[in-house]
Structure 1
Amino acid sequence: MNRKLNLLILTVILPFLLNGCWDSRELNSLSIVSATSIDRSNDEWVISFQVVIPQSIATQTGGGAGGSQSPITIFSTRGKTIREAMQNANLEAPRTLFFAHNSILILNEQVVRNEGVRQILDFFLRPMESRETMSVLLTKGKASNLLEVLIPLEKITGNAIQRVITQGQENLSQVKNIKLIDFASMIANPNRSAVVPELKVSGDQEEQSTLDALKSTRNKAVIKLGDLGVFRGDKLVGWMKREESRGVAWLSNSVKNLIIVFPCSDRENTRLSSYRVVHSSTQVEPVMVNGSINMKVHIETKGALDETSCTMDLTKPDVITKLEDTITEQIKDEIWASWKRMKELNADPVGFMDMIHRRYPSVSRRLSTSERPLQELELNLNIKVTIEHTNMINKPFSNLIEPKN
């Protein structure tokens, strides 16, 4: 009896164990997408895909140069909706598009200015296959052009773009790697403005899009990070330049590794020095003062003097103090430039309104009815800069050179 019962149980369980990968797909039936771009033309969505060519990568050695075939191919489709454009890809693509490795999404400036991003986010957040960690970027020109540029050091351009963003975030604090899920969260937050970095081509884009570019010792064009796009709601409202975006980084407590260039004195702007930020901390607190909100900002930064052409004795404490004061003024200039631009754009990429909402809900409700709420805020800066060391030498090399008569 027990034996029959055991056989019955095994008969019921075994089919579940032997199902295998019921939804598996063969690799040679897929087109692996590494990057996607979105443009608009004649009231239609134009979606471009950067597809990896596996056999080309397999036969190449080194950074993608020397092969007889491009490691990637680009093709575009269009439709009245993004989904229709994607489906129309099946009319010309010999293989099914596979988006699990899609790490880059590039959006055209005019698309996000005029159409907004809600439909784009709605589409890319729905499929199980789509990556929520893909990086979102903006471009002021045709987005698909960026997918065509070949990078000798990387076989796949999408991977090269990802490395550019990562390097920018680690070494330039004003650059942020905005992932799709984080971008969607910022867009959905009524008390904060979303920001997305710009990606652009510098040089001759057409020359760098041919296979000969991989065999040249000098690039005809490079992909580089540019300005910072600022949103209000789900639409792009403007750009912040480098100095302005650095101010946002200071106010947002996102400065990690940054070089500050400053003059030796107010009277002499030709001789410059470099201060490397090693540690930085920013605390922002909204405080009610006489019925208005004062945003008190306290920034403390520590770092090293990496380079100087100033003729001064760095062993003297008063000299170091003077340099720290000069660096402080440089940081203030960047923050004030950012604050001015934020009020011009009527956008809040720092999240001041979010802080006020948590501390003073009633004030937040009142400000939410204002057409330009940032105009009603005051900014109070308290910055402390410390030069911890001057690396291997205390006196500038300039001091060793006697002036010629």
Structure 2
Amino acid sequence: MSTIRERIQKTLLLLLCVLMLSGCWSRRELNELMIVLGIGLDWEDGEFLVSFQVVNPSEISTMPKGGERPPMTLYQSKGKTLFEAARSLTAEAPRKVYMGHLQIYVIGEELARMGISNFIDNSLRDNELRMDSNLIIAKGMKAQDLLKLFTPLERLPTQNMLHSLQTSEKSWAPTVSVNLDDLLNKLSTHGEELAVTGIQLVGTKKKASSKQNVETYMPSTRFRYTGIAVFKTDKLIGWLNEQESKGFTDISGKLKSTSIELPCGENSYIGIEVTSSNSKIKMEIKNGQPEAHIQIRTEANIVDRMCKNIDLEDPATIQELNEEIKVVIQNNAEASIKKAQKLKSDIFGFGSTLGRQHPQFWKPIMKEWNEEWFPGLKVQYHVESHIRKLGTTSNTTMY
């Protein structure tokens, strides 16, 4: 009898386990969701305008299809809060919005200048949002216009923007990727302000939202990453140009690779590829004043030689080119710091570095750092350049 009872108990326990594993109470079917890849945030007529770029699954599928519809749909809604705007979308959207695959946020410049604290608060309260979603600023325009763009190569504009941002950050200095996690860290740190890459439309914009935009060899409207937006607390206050942006990425240790052109004659240049760059910031206290020391070490290759009178096999020539590279790097850094000091926004983190290295000095001045101390901060530069490769042809004889 006891054996039968034990068998029954074991069977019931097994059935209970199977029932517990047979489903998920919170599951949502794919055909019940709208998958959002990009979100645009703007300020319009005293309200938040939220644009959701949603995937049309049948248009991006590898299975045969009609191809009459665009690969994405843009849903828009307004509200006094971001939550209200998002919820009011249900009045026209056939499915529930799903943020689990969100790739990129685009914030219009007008809203960015007003402040992005509402966006941050809303993002942190949503457990579906990914903290690795990237953030970019629509320079001089609305975010919604960028999400309407038909782009070549990638069928979805946000994928095109994301891949371009990642590639540009690795190969071209004036861009830097910032995700929600980076955003939260910067805004939670005393002595370091936020800096975000800008993006804008270029070319004739009449066909931007039409499929005709990608039916020619060169699209009439394209996007381009341009400049770095400088924030103070949560508000956009100014922009770095290309040279200043290069200086920022170099000082902050975000530069991976870029190009430098050294003049060697009339309309002729030596092309330099920067293959690696490392930087360190050290803060010192001299006569009661903080002083920054920036160490930048660069390795480079020669990739273009337009002037045949430049002898690349002469060690003295290489040394001279190294010195010229150092001048360019320092000029970029100086221009970047000068602009940031003018804007009174420490985007380099000199203040946070001072707090780590000299905490007793930092604590009393922490609240006045941007306004009173950073604008007059003395900076010393220690730049090294090392040319490693001359190319396989060295002194070519083709001209």
Give the Cα–Cα distance (whole angstroms) in 1 for the partners of residues 296 and 8 of structure 2: 72
> For 1:128, what is the secondary structure of its paired residue?
coil
| CA distance in 2: counterparts of 1:363 and 1:288, whole angstroms | 9
- Map 1:276-315 → 2, pairs under 5 A: 276-310=273-307, 311-315=309-313
Report the Cα distance in structure 1 between the residues aligned to 2:152 and 2:291, rounded to whole angstroms: 51
Shift of 1:37: 0.4
Q: In 1, are the aligned partners of 2:341 and 2:376 still within 8 Å (CA)?
A: no
- Aligned runs of 1:69-80 on 2, under 5 Å? 69-80=69-80
Give, in whole Å, the separation in 1 of the partners of 2:380 and 2:8.
78
Tell me, in whole angstroms, the C-alpha distance in 1 between the residues paired with 2:350 and 2:3.
71
* Structure 1 segment 109-124 matched on structure 2, within 5 A: 109-114=109-114, 116-124=115-123
> Distance in 2 between the 1:7 and 1:239 partners?
73
Aligned equivalent of 1:211 = 211
Give the aligned partner of residue 177 of structure 2. Answer: 177
Partner of 1:362: 360
| C-alpha distance in 2 between matches for 1:377 and 1:214 | 49
Deviations 1:207-227 (A, max 9, x none): 031122333332111111011
Mapped to 1, the partners of 2:8 and 2:206 lie a distance apart of 69
Instruction: Indicate whether 1:54 and 2:48 are aligned.
Output: no
Aligned to 1:146: 146
The letter of the residue matching 1:54 is: P
Q: TM-score under structure 1 normalisation?
A: 0.92
What's the CA shift for 1:87? 0.6
2:322 to 321, 324, 328: 324
Aligned match of 1:23 in 18, 21, 26?
Answer: 26
What secondary structure does 1:121 align onto?
Answer: helix
1:346 to 344, 347, 370: 344
Do 1:59 and 1:67's aligned partners in 2 also have CA atoms closer than 8 Å? Answer: no
Distance 1:60 1:342, change over 3 A: farther
Aligned to 1:165: 165
Q: What per-residue deviation string (whole Å, max 9, x for no partner) do you get for residues 143-177 of structure 1?
A: 10000101121121111111111111111133111
Give the number of aligned pairs: 392
Among residues 250, 267, 272, which one is paired with 2:269 in the alignment? 272
1:19-39: per-residue Cα shift (whole Å, max 9, x none)?
412222222221111100001
Structure 2 Cα separation of the partners of residues 383 and 67 of structure 1: 55
Shift of residue 13 of structure 1?
Answer: 5.7
Which runs of structure 1 show a deviation greater than 4 angstroms over 4 or more consecutive aligned residues?
none
Q: Are 2:139 and 1:137 equivalent residues in the alignment?
A: no
Comparing 119-128 with 51-60, which one deviates more in the overlay? Answer: 51-60
Cα distance in 2 between the residues matched to 1:236 and 1:269: 40
Aligned mates of 1:10, 1:350 — CA distance in 2: 65
Residue 99 of structure 1 deviates from its aligned partner by: 1.2
- Asked if the contact 1:286/1:359 (under 8 Å) is kept, the reply is yes
1:47/1:86 contact within 8 Å kept: yes
Equivalent residue of 1:372, what SS? helix
In structure 1, the gaps of 5 or more residues are none
In the alignment, residue 273 of structure 1 is paired with which amino acid?
I
Percent identical among aligned pairs is 25
Q: Deviations over 1:11-69 (max 9, x none)?
A: 356335424122222222211111000011122111001111111222678xx9x9322
**Deviation by residue 1:246-273 (Cα, 9 ceiling, x = unmatched):** 1111111222111111212xxx563211
In structure 2, relative to structure 1, the CA distance for the partners of 1:55 and 1:327 (3 Å cut) is same
Encode CA deviations 1:72-96: one digit per residue, 9 max, x unaligned. Answer: 1112101111111111000010111
Opposite residue 45 of structure 1, the aligned amino acid is: F
Q: Distance in 2 between matches of 1:307 and 1:384?
A: 21
Structure 1 residues 3 and 191, CA gap change in structure 2 (3 angstroms) = farther
Output the amino acid matched with 1:102.
L
Are the counterparts in 1 of residues 170 and 255 from structure 2 also a CA contact under 8 Å? no
Whether contact under 8 Å (2:190, 2:366) holds in the other structure is: no
Distance 1:10 1:181 in 2: 48
User: Per the alignment, do residues 109 and 10 of structure 1 end up closer, same or farther by CA in structure 2, a change over 3 Å counting?
Assistant: farther
Instruction: Specify the alignment match of 1:187 in structure 2.
Output: 187
Shift of 1:317: 1.0
Q: Is the 8 A contact 2:322 2:387 kept in 1?
A: yes
Offset of residue 183 of structure 1? 0.9
Bigger mean CA offset, 284-293 vs 39-48 = 284-293
Partner letter of residue 8 of structure 1?
Q
